[in-house]
A and B are shown apart, each in its own frame.
Chain A
Amino acid sequence: MPHHQDDRADLTLLGYTNAMVSTISSPPDEQLVEAALAGDHGAFAELTSRHKSRVFGVAARFAQNGAELEDICQDVFIQAYFKLRQYRRDSPFEHWLLRITTHKCYDYLRKRQRIGAHVSTDSMLESGYEPAAPEPAAPHPHLERLYAALAQLSPKERLVITLLELEERSVMEIAELTGWSPANVKVRAFRARASLRKLMEKR
């Protein structure tokens, strides 16, 4: 895109900083989506680079380890790539991407529950397992208790309580992300909180 480079040079001459220039001159998401649909791989790479932090941030709340985090994030962007035509421009691209992220995280929680791969951290460490990437950081002993209790919730409960309490999403936002009704979100959040309270009291 040579004309963008020209714009960038002009803006730099006007005294804008590099960060300001990249904000002003970078094309909007919708334009990048159009370019990606036309076969521009660079445009999709730019979309990935722009939104990966947000996707990683949400997925890290659910992933058990670095490898699973990488898998979830790759699955999110692969689905986004192959279903890009289904993206309707009525909401920001990031909302659409976060909806995919939420569904993928839920799928991983369900898969983990189905396989019964509920391996305790102690047994993983005993078997010589070493996490490849940052685990949900738990520098505080109480946080370790919270994460251990969260891991024991059902996938639906864990999803709703994580989005509501840790990601600070509103009920309406969660309803939009999950596809559940707002009333359903409220009921599930209430039950999740009650379950979590019981689990915390046991410990």
Chain B
Amino acid sequence: MNDPKSRPDSDLDALFALARTHRPDTSAAEFAFETRLQARLRALEEAGPIWAMVSWRLIPFFAACVVALTIWHSEIVSDTHHEERMAYVQNLDYVESIGTFNL
């Protein structure tokens, strides 16, 4: 106790001991708590099932899926377009060669 370094800690311990004896009185706040809670639970249940609320949290996941699908789709489309262009060019060469032959 005479050690000055231990003094702040003993002060702190004394304060904690004092705080433990002064518990906040919550009796007024507790009054009719069950009724208020039941009313809120009823309102939550009437608002919709819990999965409806949870589904909002899944929005980032679904958004990521949409972006991934869009990228995948655009790659497929560009590949298809490339193949179509190649087929068109080949077809054009063939038509031109026929035209030259006829002349």
Contact = CB atoms under 8 A, between A and B. Distances in A.
Interface of A: 41, 45, 48-49, 52-53, 56-57, 60-61, 66, 69-70, 73-74, 77-78, 81-82, 133-140, 142-143, 145-147, 165-166, 168, 193, 196-197, 200-201
B25 A142 contact: no
B91 to A, nearest CB: 64
Given A82-B50, A197-B8, A200-B11, A143 B22 contact: yes
Interface size range on B against A: 20 to 34
B29 A136 contact: no
A73 B24 CA distance: 15
A69 B28 CA distance: 11
Interface string B52-90: 000000000000000000000000000000000000000
Contacts of B9: 193, 197
Contact of A196 (B12, B33, B37, B41): B12
A76 to B, nearest CB: 10
A196 B29 CA distance: 29
A134 B12 contact: no
Query: Nearest 9 pairs between A and B by C-beta?
Result: A60-B24, A56-B26, A133-B29, A165-B16, A146-B15, A45-B34, A136-B24, A134-B25, A48-B34
A82 B25 CA distance: 28
Nearest to A146: B15
A107 to B, nearest CB: 15
Given A48-B34, A134-B28, A81 B18 contact: no
7 contacts: A45-B38, A52-B34, A57-B26, A78-B40, A140-B22, A143-B18, A166-B16
Contacts of B29: 56, 60, 66, 69-70, 73, 133-134
Given A73-B33, A146-B15, A78 B44 contact: yes
A136 B20 CA distance: 11
Binding site secondary structure of chain B: helix
Contacts of A52: 30, 33-34
A197 B12 contact: yes
Nearest to B28: A133
Nearest to A150: B19
Contacts of B11: 200
Contacts of A61: 24
Interface in B1-53: 8-9, 11-12, 15-16, 18-20, 22-26, 28-30, 33-34, 36-38, 40-41, 44, 50
A56 B30 contact: yes
Contacts of A73: 29, 33
Nearest to B33: A52
A60 B12 CA distance: 21
A70 B22 CA distance: 20
Contacts of B19: 143, 146-147, 165-166
Nearest to A147: B19
